[in-house]
């Protein structure tokens, strides 16, 4: 890989805070921190390994609470330098954890229900979290161009973050995306390249680019910076627990695209327990998929360890990854914690978007509809205990997927501006 040698991990200028190495998730082999993502020994995925401060959980908790109201309050637990806040960044995170009492009543949840609403991030999806960490890794490695393959949310997040942080960007999307997503990806002024092909074709092309001299100095957030990028999702776990008053919830319902977010949330929860920041107790992790792209849910229900790829066909396009890289790990976590993986069809996704909107005033994108729809189904099928405390994650904003609800969402009535017309319409 050409970019692998751009900035050796031994360089004195790099500072990854508590991160000390990359570690293979499969064989455990360790590598110096660098812009690499696959184990040289077994081709397994690499993830960031840390040496955390220990012995003073109260001091660490105080330090976090005194930090900024964004993900950098958790800098001591992330692969970023301690002075990360001094660098220009979109500063995502610390989004609202909404106590969803009205939704709880509709669903029969009595143990407490919260929505972690990541539509409040700068570009209105959780992608701002993962990109923010990738940007700091790119800075550390001396990379100059930020890139990604994307179906929308990630392209916008990378475009905006590159601008703020002072990078060039060149982002790749399938050429036939919805106009709105293209505008959002293009408006920040970086290079936006439409690829004549599917998302899989875009991905393959990006892998080719990384190996070519053209790609030298490029950081692909979700390819060669993936180990760092993924760590951004841990902040969802940290925030949920801190916002609950430094404790674990009973259940978390998380949408699955590649499955990375779910596995990193579990990693984050485990870290909080190990560091003594929350008391250990059992929790259950639930994964949510759309029926039209449900490889992990299908495997879970069949009792398989292997995830069989599918050809996606769902309105939840931000979750439409037919061959999810972290699928097997998701199965492990759901089974280990006593959770489940479930799916809902597109009609149920739309109904769930509307349910969340009319009960809590939160307008979610289709991925959020998948999560709420699955939460409902898990309760109805007895897989999730309504007397337990549950957190569901809304990963994006309804303004990004208007088409999903537009055909069935409109005015109650259209009338002339008179009181008589108002009464005649049955409104008065």
- Residues of this chain, 148-187, that bind a copy of itself according to CB under 8 A: 156, 159-164, 166, 170, 173, 175, 179-180, 182-184, 186-187
C-beta of 92 vs 287, nearer to a copy of itself: 92
With respect to a copy of itself, which residue has the nearer C-beta, 200 or 332? 200
Q: Which is nearer to a copy of itself, 39 or 163 (CB)?
A: 163
- Is residue 123 a contact point for a copy of itself (CB under 8 A)? yes
Q: Please give the structure tokens belonging to residue 257.
A: 């695209």
Which residue's structure tokens are 């490029």? 218
Residues 118, 127: Cα–Cα separation, whole Å = 9
Whole-angstrom Cα distance, residue 183 to residue 269?
36
- Cα separation, 427 vs 125, in Å, equals 37
Specify the stretch interacting with a copy of itself by CB under 8 A; choose among 57-65, 330-338, 383-391, 415-423.
415-423
Nearer to a copy of itself, 179 or 302 (CB): 179
Nearest in space to 23 (alpha carbons), one of 174, 227, 241? 227
**Phi, psi (5° rounding) for residue 400?**
-85, -20
Min separation Cβ 31 and a copy of itself, Å: 27
Near a copy of itself by CB under 8 A: residue from 71, 90, 132, 293 = 90
Directed axis angle between helix 179-186 and helix 153-165, to 10°? 10
Between 393 and 412, how does the x/- string for binding to a copy of itself read (CB under 8 A)?
A: ----xxxx-x--xx--xxxx
Find the binding residues for a copy of itself in span 178-237 (CB under 8 A): 179-180, 182-184, 186-189, 191-197, 201-202, 204-205, 208-209, 212, 214
Nearest approach in angstroms of CB 198 to a copy of itself is 9
Closer by beta carbon to a copy of itself, 14 or else 121: 121
Among 116, 139, 317, 354, binds a copy of itself (CB under 8 A): 354
Stretch that binds a copy of itself, among 47-55, 274-282, 308-316, 392-400 (CB under 8 A): 392-400
Distance separating the N- and C-terminal Cα atoms of the chain: 69
Nearer to a copy of itself, 103 or 269 (CB): 103
Structure tokens belonging to residue 396: 């994006």
Segments in 212-311 forming alpha helices (H): 226-231, 234-243, 260-274, 295-302
8 A C-beta contact, residue 111 and residue 388: yes
In the complex with a copy of itself, the residue whose CB is nearer, 127 or 267, is: 127
| CB 187, min distance to a copy of itself, A | 5
Q: Are 393 and 285 in contact (CB under 8 A)?
A: no
Report the DSSP beta bridge partners of residue 342: 288
Interface of this chain with a copy of itself, residues 14 to 73, rule: CB under 8 A: 69
Least distance (Å) from a copy of itself to the CB of residue 226?
Answer: 20
Site string for a copy of itself, 284-323 (x = CB under 8 A): ----------------------------------------
Among 8-16, 116-124, 241-249, 326-334, the segment contacting a copy of itself (CB under 8 A): 116-124
Q: 57-65 and 234-243 are packed helices; what angle lies between their axes, rounded to 10 degrees?
A: 90
Quote the CA–CA distance of 327 and 333 in Å, as a whole number. 10
CB-nearer residue toward a copy of itself: 55 or 416: 416
Contact yes or no for 133/232 (Cβ under 8 A): yes
- Cβ at position 217, least distance to a copy of itself in Å: 13
Q: C-alpha distances in angstroms, 311 versus 206, 314, 341?
A: 20, 10, 19
> Which is closer to a copy of itself, CB of 45 or CB of 215?
215
* Cβ atoms of 400 and 118 closer than 8 Å: no
Restricting to residues 326-345, which ones interact with a copy of itself according to CB under 8 A? none
Cα dist. 118→56, 362, 419 in Å? 30, 11, 42
How many residues touch a copy of itself under the rule CB under 8 A: the total is: 80
Please name which of 193, 123, 134 lies closest in space to residue 157, comparing C-alpha atoms: 123
């Amino acid at each position: 890989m050409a970019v692998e040698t751009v900035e050796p991990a031994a360089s004195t200028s790099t500072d990854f805070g508590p991160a000390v190495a990359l570690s293979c998730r499969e064989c455990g082999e360790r590598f110096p921190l660098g812009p690499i993502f696959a184990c040289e020994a077994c081709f397994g995925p690499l993830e960031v390994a840390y040496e955390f401060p220990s012995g003073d959980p109260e001091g660490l908790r105080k330090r976090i609470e005194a930090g900024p109201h964004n993900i950098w309050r958790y800098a001591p637990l992330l692969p970023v330098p301690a002075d990360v806040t001094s660098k220009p960044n979109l500063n995502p995170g610390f989004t609202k954890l909404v106590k969803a009492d009205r939704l709880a009543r509709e669903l029969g949840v009595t143990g407490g229900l919260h929505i972690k609403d990541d539509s409040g991030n700068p570009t209105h999806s959780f992608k701002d979290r993962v990109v923010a960490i990738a940007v700091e890794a790119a800075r550390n490695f001396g990379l100059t161009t930020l890139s990604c393959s994307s179906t929308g949310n990630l392209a916008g997040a990378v475009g905006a973050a590159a601008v703020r942080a002072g990078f060039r960007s060149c982002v790749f999307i399938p050429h036939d995306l919805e106009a709105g997503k293209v505008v959002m990806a293009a408006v920040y002024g970086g290079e936006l390249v439409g690829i004549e092909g599917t998302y899989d074709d875009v991905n393959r092309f990006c892998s080719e680019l990384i190996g070519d001299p053209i790609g030298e100095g490029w950081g692909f957030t979700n390819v060669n910076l993936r180990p760092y990028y993924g760590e951004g999702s841990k902040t969802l776990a940290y925030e949920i627990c801190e916002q609950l008053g430094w404790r674990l919830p009973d259940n978390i319902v998380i949408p699955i695209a590649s499955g990375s977010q779910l596995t990193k949330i579990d990693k984050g929860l485990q870290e909080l327990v190990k560091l003594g920041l929350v008391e250990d107790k059992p929790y259950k992790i639930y994964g949510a998929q759309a029926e039209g792209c449900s490889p992990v849910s299908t495997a879970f229900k069949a009792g398989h360890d292997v995830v069989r790829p599918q050809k996606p066909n769902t309105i939840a396009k931000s979750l439409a990854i037919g061959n999810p890289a972290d699928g097997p790990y998701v199965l492990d976590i759901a089974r280990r914690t006593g959770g489940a993986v479930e799916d809902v069809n597109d009609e149920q996704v739309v109904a769930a978007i509307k349910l969340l909107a009319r009960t809590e005033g939160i307008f979610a994108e289709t991925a959020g509809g998948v999560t709420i729809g699955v939460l409902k189904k898990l309760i109805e099928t007895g897989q999730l205990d309504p007397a337990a405390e549950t957190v569901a994650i809304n990963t994006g904003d309804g303004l990004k997927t208007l088409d999903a609800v537009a055909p069935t969402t409109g005015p109650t009535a259209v009338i002339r501006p008179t009181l008589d017309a108002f009464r005649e319409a049955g409104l008065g």
